[in-house]
């Protein structure tokens, strides 16, 4: 599952150079990462892990937060173009982040499941999407 | 009395009645190298500065709930049963600035003479002002690591 997280985060960050990608997680040495959503960023959080001997699943949440609604809509379009251009990416082992190693497997998602929903908030514009990543 | 005089007076009171057994430090966490996006290790350094004057603090006291029932969720760590807890600090602007209090990579740390530490993440900051000058910060913090 760690390789799935690392690979998907880099898939988004490497293909969306104009959008800051951030992983919301508990990390005692990086307290800012656990401080909720970041403004003007694509926040990625991982939820359920469904382990299986054949196909495992990892639930992922994308929270696009921006102080300008129209920019957020443009960003959502860019995220969708990356996720919709293909339905999979290579699963890599990022133990050495400078030299990721192929694992021989892929991470897949259902492009029809990528749906951004607005969440009302008086402080910023917030688009939310949740879908599953499947992998060997 | 102007705000600066009030700050000096508050600092004296904080020094007189401040934390008696444990000292409070501000810790700035700096990461270099590695891959922050995926949390792969680089190097991490802590810079601890003792607050002067020391703040006063008060626990949220979830353990003090009476009755034969579990008052808080426990986690066992290093042979001790720990509970998540809140604390309220009264911090002088002499010892911490608004910018520091808003730094997402700054935490408060309590240390005792035996070397035990407890880390607090700042959840909220409420400045009390006089003539537009902050004279004391009420800092709400959550114990995240003991």
Label residue B78 by pLDDT band (50, 70, 90).
low
Mean per-residue pLDDT of chain B: 82
- What radius of gyration, in Å, describes the C-alpha atoms of chain B? 17
**Range in A49-53, B66-70, B136-140 the model is least confident about:** B66-70
Q: Does residue A35 belong to the interface with chain B, where contact is any CB pair within 8 Å?
A: yes
Nearest CB neighbour to B104, from listed A25, A29, A35: A35
Distance (Å) of CA B58 to CA A26, B6, B31, B77, B80: 26, 22, 31, 23, 22
**Residue B109 β-bridge partners:** B25, B119
ipTM of the complex: 0.87
What pLDDT score was predicted for residue B114? 78
- Contact residues for B16 (Cβ-Cβ < 8 A; gap 6+): none
- For B14, counting Cβ atoms within 10 Å of its Cβ (0-12 exposed, 13-18 middle, 19+ buried), the class is buried
Nearest CB neighbour to B40, from listed A22, A34, A97: A97
Would you state the structure tokens that stand for residue A40, as one six-digit string?
């003007």
Specify whether the backbone of B121 is left (phi greater than 0), alpha (psi in -120 to 50) or beta.
beta
pLDDT in tens, B24-53: 999 999 988 888 899 887 888 999 999 999
pLDDT in tens, B53-70: 999 888 775 554 444 444
Separation between Cα atoms, residue A65 and residue A125, nearest integer Å? 6
Q: Does residue B51 belong to the interface with chain A, where contact is any CB pair within 8 Å?
A: no
Nearest CB neighbour to A31, from listed B36, B40, B107: B107
What predicted TM-score, i.e. pTM, was given to this entire model?
Answer: 0.82
With tokens 């910060």, the residue in question is: B137
- For B39, counting Cβ atoms within 10 Å of its Cβ (0-12 exposed, 13-18 middle, 19+ buried), the class is buried
Separation between Cα atoms, residue A117 and residue A136, nearest integer Å? 29
């Amino acid at each position: 599952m760690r390789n799935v997280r690392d690979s998907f985060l880099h898939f988004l960050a490497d293909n969306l150079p104009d959008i800051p990608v951030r992983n919301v997680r508990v990390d005692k040495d990086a307290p800012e990462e656990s401080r909720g959503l970041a403004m003007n960023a694509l926040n990625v959080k991982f939820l359920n892990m469904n382990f299986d001997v054949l196909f495992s699943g990892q639930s992922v949440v994308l929270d696009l937060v921006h102080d300008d609604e129209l920019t957020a809509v443009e960003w959502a379009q860019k995220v969708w173009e990356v996720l919709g251009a293909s339905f999979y990416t290579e699963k890599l082992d990022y133990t050495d982040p400078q030299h990721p190693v192929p694992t021989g497997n892929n991470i897949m998602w259902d492009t029809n499941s990528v749906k951004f929903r607005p969440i009302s908030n008086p402080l910023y514009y917030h688009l939310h999407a949740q879908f599953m990543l499947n992998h060997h | 009395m102007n705000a600066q005089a009030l700050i000096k007076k508050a600092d004296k009171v904080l020094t007189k009645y401040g934390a008696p057994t444990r000292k409070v430090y501000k810790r700035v966490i700096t990461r270099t190298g590695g891959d922050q996006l995926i949390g792969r290790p680089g190097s991490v350094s802590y810079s601890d500065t003792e607050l002067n004057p020391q703040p006063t603090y008060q626990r949220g006291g979830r353990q003090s709930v009476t009755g034969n029932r579990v008052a808080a969720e426990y986690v066992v760590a290093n042979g001790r049963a720990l509970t998540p807890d809140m604390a309220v600090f009264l911090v002088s602007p002499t010892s911490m600035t608004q910018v520091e209090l808003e730094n997402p990579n700054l935490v408060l740390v309590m240390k005792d003479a035996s070397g035990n530490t407890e880390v607090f993440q700042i959840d909220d900051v409420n400045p009390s002002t006089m003539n537009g000058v902050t004279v004391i910060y009420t800092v709400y913090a959550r114990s995240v690591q003991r």
